[in-house]
Amino acid sequence: MSAANCLVTNDWICGEYLRTRSQELGDALLQHVGITVVSVVVGVAVAFPLALLVRSRPRFAGPVLGLTTLLYTVPSLAMFSLLLPFFGLSAALVVTGLVLYSLTILVRNMVAGLDAVPAEAREAARGMGYGSARLLWEVELPLALPALMAGIRMATVSTIALTTVGSIVGRGGLGNLIEDALPTFFKAQVLAASVLCVLLAVVADLLLLGVQRLLTPWTRIRTAPGGE
């Protein structure tokens, strides 16, 4: 199907394109979701130890936060070019770049969440005989969870947007469709892929917000009107 088939009605909104290219759109969406999920999961796995390092060794805060911020400022084309010799034209190249971009958001929110845990809660847990590991997993992480989830939500939405840039190496999910349509300015394909990308970001954010509320039921407690 070409752009000419849509010109008789609306070259931006074309039902015929959606009907004939539904499989292509679905495959691109699945690739986009897969790259995003892997990137965010790996990003969290890398960011968490860095956040613990910063929290336990404040002298590392400057270097770690500075490095993650510097990585975020590197243009995507330059980032992928630097990683290309190590990963080649593969999905690993895109995932690694996205992980590096996510670190500045994840590490900062994790550190902020852990720092916000009340000192009284830590002291009470220590008084009950909690060791460092048990204190972290049973007291600090649950109390820091709202900030941690907020960071994961921001990183996920950011990653969904940045995944489209992976189209420069053929691993951009919906971004591949956008790039393929630009030379001929096939508006229906550009709009369909762009709308799906936006919807994916909205759905992912809402799903993570739902998970956050399930994991932190105490944050939904509100004082009844007229109560104390």
In this predicted model, what pLDDT tens digit does every residue of 129-181 receive, in sequence order? 888 888 888 888 888 888 899 999 999 999 999 998 888 877 888 888 887 77
The pLDDT of residue 106 is above 70: yes
Residue 223 DSSP symbol: P
Residue 52 is predicted with a pLDDT of 92
CATH architecture of 11-216: Orthogonal Bundle (1.10)
**What per-residue confidence (pLDDT) applies to 48?**
94
Query: Chain centroid to CA 9: how far?
Result: 37
Q: Is 54 exposed, middle or buried (0-12, 13-18, 19+ CB in 10 A)?
A: buried
- In this prediction, residue 7 has a pLDDT band, given cuts at 50, 70 and 90, of very low
Whether pLDDT at 228 is above 50: no
Rounded to whole angstroms, the Cα distance separating 45 from 34 reads: 17
Question: Greater confidence, 116 or 224?
Answer: 116
The pLDDT-based confidence of 101 (bands split at 50, 70, 90) is very high
Task: Give the 3-state secondary structure of residue 212.
Answer: helix
* Contact yes or no for 46/99 (Cβ under 8 A): yes
pLDDT 10s digits, 35-68: 999 999 999 999 999 999 998 888 888 999 999 9
Which pLDDT does position 122 carry in this prediction? 84
Kindly indicate the confidence band of residue 115, based on its pLDDT and cuts at 50, 70 and 90. Answer: confident
Give 219's contacts (C-beta < 8 A, 6+ positions apart).
146, 213
**What type of residue sits at position 71?**
L
- Residue 99 and residue 41: Cα distance in Å, rounded? 9
Question: What does the alpha-carbon distance between residue 110 and residue 90 come to, in Å, rounded to a whole number?
Answer: 30
Q: Which tens digits make up the pLDDT trace of 185-222?
A: 777 778 888 889 999 999 999 999 999 888 877 766 65
Helices (H), the chain: 15-20, 22-56, 61-73, 76-87, 91-115, 119-127, 132-135, 141-163, 174-181, 187-215
